[in-house]
Structure 1
Amino acid sequence: MASVEPPATRDLARALAASRPGSTVPHTVVVLPSYSVEPRLLAHFGPRIATLEHRQLLTVLRLARLPGAEMVFVTSERPTERVMAYYLSFVERGLRDGVRSRFHVVEVPDRTSRSVTVKLLERPDLLEVVRSMTRGRLAFIEPWNVTQPEMEVARVLGLPLAGTPASLWPLGFKSNGRRLMREAGVPVAPGCEDVRSVDEVVAAVEAIRQERPAAVGAVVKLDDSATGIGNRVFRFADVPHPTRLRAAVESLGPDYLSGLASGAVVEELLTGPEVSSPSVQGDITPGRRVDVIATHEQVHDGTDRQAYLGCRFPASRDYRSDLTAYGASVGQLLADRGALGRFGVDFAATRTSSSRWRLHGLEINLRRSGTSHPLSLLHNLTTGHYDRASGTWSMPDGSRRCYSATDNLLDPAWRGRAESDVIEAVERAGLSFDTHRGVGTVLHMLNGLASSGLVGLTTIGRSAAQAQRLHDATVAAIRGGSRMLGPSGSMSDGRIDA
């Protein structure tokens, strides 16, 4: 007997089909930038939670290609009219008023370090506002991630969620991710899963020391963590014997050790003459089809490169096709288990002067990530498409587009700096995105200036080198250098060469 899809799955499939570019079907997208993560991570980001929410503010640009769509953006901090005008400047002039009239903000005025979803559930009046905007319309919720609070919002609103059900969230934990990647045929970094105590950490690190004589250290990663916050590195030169290692693990403190009790992995710290951090992104449809949609090079900083700073698209051509194949294999296993929507797989790539690149699977993300909003910009600001065979973004004229993006351009001296000041600095330097040439800079997370002196940006170029030159010039302009890009990316007259 043929299986019958549940109504929620059918409704989501219909809503997602209505939300494909060019569709004129009336529908509503409820954008829920639900940074619903474990308390340690929320505490780490503190006042930046509202800034992280504004990464998804870029979805307003999608409305230019969806004349039948309305969008409801839920946030704990309403974007200013200056920021809205800035984003609308990238929309064709004749469409701007229509886009603005179909974009609705529901502000949950609460600056505590909690997910906006939890805040929304405490406000039945605002839930009713969202319900009134979706009642009688084809609609769905587009979350950043899905945990139990997002499921409850969906239940209250009676709308389908475009994301993996909360019951499957543990599939993205570090230990489960390693197991699933191995099942998919993805090589993983040497190490072990389900480490839950100081004794087990010491044993796992010592096993790597014995089995991998050339290894320089090991990294402990809490199962339910992200952006490197739950990672701790132990270099063998610093802990030359088990007694010293044990003392170092115990010194991590009660907060970290309590997280360890819930599970962790211990892996070899991958190093070498050349190391990179590529990733692959995909989507799983309600019909369980897996689409690989991008590969990236992730940019890391901090101690032993564990902290995420930004990304570049696309990943190196040396292993782009391997990333695509691995992403499709992992995605199919996730789909078979009931996962839905966006997912990503992070890797480490290593090589020596005499060897080819070797990929090592690190973790699975069942959510959107720092690569999601720059990728959406590429989709919404250019008329190209993702060429799966080459792993590149191809334009109608045969040219290609690449980008460099960061969420972490930070200077405490910028705290309280006006959004208009930064926008105008980029515009004066001639670096703003040119909709005709499909090249230039788009700023995001502009509300981060007020709280912490933080802003994000994405620079789109015809090549990776041009995207990077635009990035460097934009940073210089914001810092006051106001250098300008001339033909072929040289610094001169302010024109962005297309």
Structure 2
Amino acid sequence: MPSYSADPRTLASIDGLDSWPERQLIDLRELQLPDRRCLVVSPVPLSDICLDAVLELLPAAQTRWLRGRLQCIALHDRSAQSLTEKLLARPQLLADLQRQLPPGSRLSAYAIGPAEERLAQHLQLCVDGTPHHLSHWGSKAGSAALFQEIGIPHPRTTALCRTLGELAEALEHLMLEHPGITGVVIKLNRMAGGRGNAPLPLDLGGWRQRSEGLRRAQLLRALEQLPMPLPHWREELQAEGAIAQEWIASRSPHSPSVQLWIDQQGSVALVSTHEQCLGGIHRQSFEGCRFPASHRYRSALIAAGLRVGEALAAKGCRGSVLIDWLATREGSAWTLWGMEINLRKGGTTHPFQLAATATGGQLNSETGELIGADGSGIVYEACDSWRLPKGKGLLPEQWLDAVIRRKLYFNRSRLSGCIPHRLGALSEHGLLGVTVIGRNRREASALIQQLQDVAASLQN
């Protein structure tokens, strides 16, 4: 159930939302086990080309054999509502599913919210994920509280606020108590993808020289003019709250992440580390990633990530955990700042699963390296929303044909090449997702350049 739960206005602002379920199709790797069946629910029909692009990656398995145990259900509903809510509103379909699903069936979801819990209860499904009543630990305020609790360096942060007046008061207290703070970011508590982050448009040095009354008035004016990417951010502030957080200044900041898995017994395992590529108007939005994270601080990153995972497991969190960090350097010393915890799947989840499945790779949990079936190291670069200059109107088949003819598609014998996803967003939105696998960083970067050349040469 690759559902993303959010305010319908937020969902409506995401280009190509209907293609997001394609990111979770890598879960079809379960079909390699002969006793497994997979049932995929999507808002619109998934094309054969999207399904085959994943199934053909599975080693030593014929696509026809896998297809026999795969069922796809499309709701034919493009409204701006979460996919799970759409399914819950169809009692006849739920009754059909209830008859089909045997005891012990599991729900694989992007995140576990109230709707997913209702669905799991109705269909008697087991769930791998953090119960919704613990979702606070995956919010902005909860992340800061956990980092504080276990002694992880993190930006100084206000308490959770639900009005501009509360934010102004909390900000004033924070900045007067810590005169070294030179910048502040406002973050909506439960907004993903950087859509709820915006820097405060205020010169804090000059602000501190003002009288008490002028200080509060200036803060309120700056908050009212906040350049938040989300148009309805004030309603989101009232509903879920927001925090203000110190801006960590650095000449060359890095944005690594750690992905963990917490099993039902509470054991924590490393899944991957990445360098995140951030963009958007404030350079706060996830656009892609590189695997693995830099060797300069990877060992420390893994250790810190496992500390956070153990603390979350002790609180009852389960399933996928993604932890975002900021890495800054003073001389030769690196500092890792805990920035955000996500108790869900994310933009780094499917690229790693794609690469590991396609290459037969195994993670070395001590070094964080992915070792291919032939014993060589594997690296990759991935982009979630690559906007092709001439992509609108281009059919997925045309894109794949151009890539295959230039021998850029993933080659199992070489363990390198590109794997596309979000093919369903190409023609309508000119968007594509892609994971480019190489034996080393130079090869992966060269493949990215060749793909860009292909994109520039295509005519829709």
Shared fold, TM over 0.5: yes
* AA of the residue aligned to 1:227: G
* 1:424 and 2:398 are equivalent in the alignment: no
For residues 323 and 251 of structure 1, the distance between their equivalents in structure 2, rounded to whole angstroms, comes to 36
Given that 2:40 and 2:73 are in contact with CA atoms closer than 8 Å, whether structure 1 keeps it comes out as: yes
Given that 1:34 and 1:146 are in contact with CA atoms closer than 8 Å, whether structure 2 keeps it comes out as: no
Post-superposition offset of 1:80:
1.2
For residues 358 and 52 of structure 1, the distance between their equivalents in structure 2, rounded to whole angstroms, comes to 34
Aligned ranges for residues 388-403 of structure 1 at < 5 Å?
A: 388-403=365-380
Given that 2:420 and 2:434 are in contact with CA atoms closer than 8 Å, whether structure 1 keeps it comes out as: yes
Aligned ranges for residues 210-249 of structure 1 at < 5 Å?
A: 210=176, 215-237=181-203, 240-241=206-207, 242=215, 243-249=217-223
For residues 81 and 325 of structure 1, the distance between their equivalents in structure 2, rounded to whole angstroms, comes to 42
Residues 427-461 of structure 1: per-residue CA shift (max 9 Å, x gap): 12211001122111000000011331111000111
Given that 1:178 and 1:193 are in contact with CA atoms closer than 8 Å, whether structure 2 keeps it comes out as: no
Given that 2:46 and 2:74 are in contact with CA atoms closer than 8 Å, whether structure 1 keeps it comes out as: no
Aligned ranges for residues 237-316 of structure 1 at < 5 Å?
A: 237=203, 240-241=206-207, 242=215, 243-252=217-226, 255-261=232-238, 262-316=240-294
**Alignment partner, residue 115 of structure 2:** 149
Which of these residues, 27, 32, 35, is aligned with residue 4 of structure 2? 35
Post-superposition offset of 1:322:
1.8
* 1:51 and 2:25 are equivalent in the alignment: no
Aligned ranges for residues 117-156 of structure 1 at < 5 Å?
A: 117-135=84-102, 137-156=103-122
**Alignment partner, residue 309 of structure 2:** 331
Unaligned runs of 5+ in 2: 208-214
TM superposition score normalised by structure 2? 0.91
For residues 417 and 282 of structure 1, the distance between their equivalents in structure 2, rounded to whole angstroms, comes to 37
Given that 1:208 and 1:218 are in contact with CA atoms closer than 8 Å, whether structure 2 keeps it comes out as: no
For residues 58 and 365 of structure 2, the distance between their equivalents in structure 1, rounded to whole angstroms, comes to 27
**Alignment partner, residue 429 of structure 2:** 452
* 1:107 and 2:74 are equivalent in the alignment: yes
Post-superposition offset of 1:230:
0.8
* 1:171 and 2:137 are equivalent in the alignment: yes
For residues 265 and 85 of structure 2, the distance between their equivalents in structure 1, rounded to whole angstroms, comes to 30
Identical residues among aligned pairs (%): 33
Aligned ranges for residues 452-491 of structure 1 at < 5 Å?
A: 452-480=429-457
**Alignment partner, residue 322 of structure 2:** 344
- Aligned partner of residue 63 in structure 2, secondary structure: helix
Which of these residues, 89, 99, 114, is aligned with residue 56 of structure 2? 89
* 1:190 and 2:156 are equivalent in the alignment: yes
For residues 171 and 230 of structure 1, the distance between their equivalents in structure 2, rounded to whole angstroms, comes to 17
* 1:60 and 2:37 are equivalent in the alignment: no
Post-superposition offset of 1:376:
1.0
Which is worse superposed, 226-235 or 365-374? 226-235
Given that 1:171 and 1:177 are in contact with CA atoms closer than 8 Å, whether structure 2 keeps it comes out as: yes
Task: Give the number of aligned pairs.
Answer: 447
For residues 356 and 210 of structure 1, the distance between their equivalents in structure 2, rounded to whole angstroms, comes to 29
For residues 111 and 292 of structure 2, the distance between their equivalents in structure 1, rounded to whole angstroms, comes to 24
**Alignment partner, residue 159 of structure 1:** 125
Structure 1's 38 and 188: CA in aligned 2 closer, same or farther, altered over 3 A? farther
- Aligned partner of residue 73 in structure 1, secondary structure: strand
For residues 92 and 284 of structure 1, the distance between their equivalents in structure 2, rounded to whole angstroms, comes to 27
* AA of the residue aligned to 1:231: N
TM superposition score normalised by structure 1? 0.84
Given that 2:158 and 2:171 are in contact with CA atoms closer than 8 Å, whether structure 1 keeps it comes out as: no
Given that 1:426 and 1:478 are in contact with CA atoms closer than 8 Å, whether structure 2 keeps it comes out as: no
Residues 304-362 of structure 1: per-residue CA shift (max 9 Å, x gap): 3111101111111122122212221211221122111101111111224x242211111
- Aligned partner of residue 293 in structure 2, secondary structure: coil
* AA of the residue aligned to 1:55: R
Structure with greater contact order relative to length (CA < 8 Å, sep ≥ 6): 2
* AA of the residue aligned to 1:249: L
Given that 2:147 and 2:338 are in contact with CA atoms closer than 8 Å, whether structure 1 keeps it comes out as: yes
* AA of the residue aligned to 1:56: Q
* 1:180 and 2:146 are equivalent in the alignment: yes
Residues 281-300 of structure 1: per-residue CA shift (max 9 Å, x gap): 11111111111211111111
For residues 130 and 239 of structure 1, the distance between their equivalents in structure 2, rounded to whole angstroms, comes to 61
Given that 2:379 and 2:438 are in contact with CA atoms closer than 8 Å, whether structure 1 keeps it comes out as: yes
* 1:320 and 2:298 are equivalent in the alignment: yes
Name the Cα RMSD after superposition: 2.3
* 1:367 and 2:335 are equivalent in the alignment: no
Aligned ranges for residues 11-30 of structure 1 at < 5 Å?
A: none
For residues 84 and 60 of structure 1, the distance between their equivalents in structure 2, rounded to whole angstroms, comes to 9
Structure 1's 198 and 91: CA in aligned 2 closer, same or farther, altered over 3 A? closer
Post-superposition offset of 1:201:
2.8
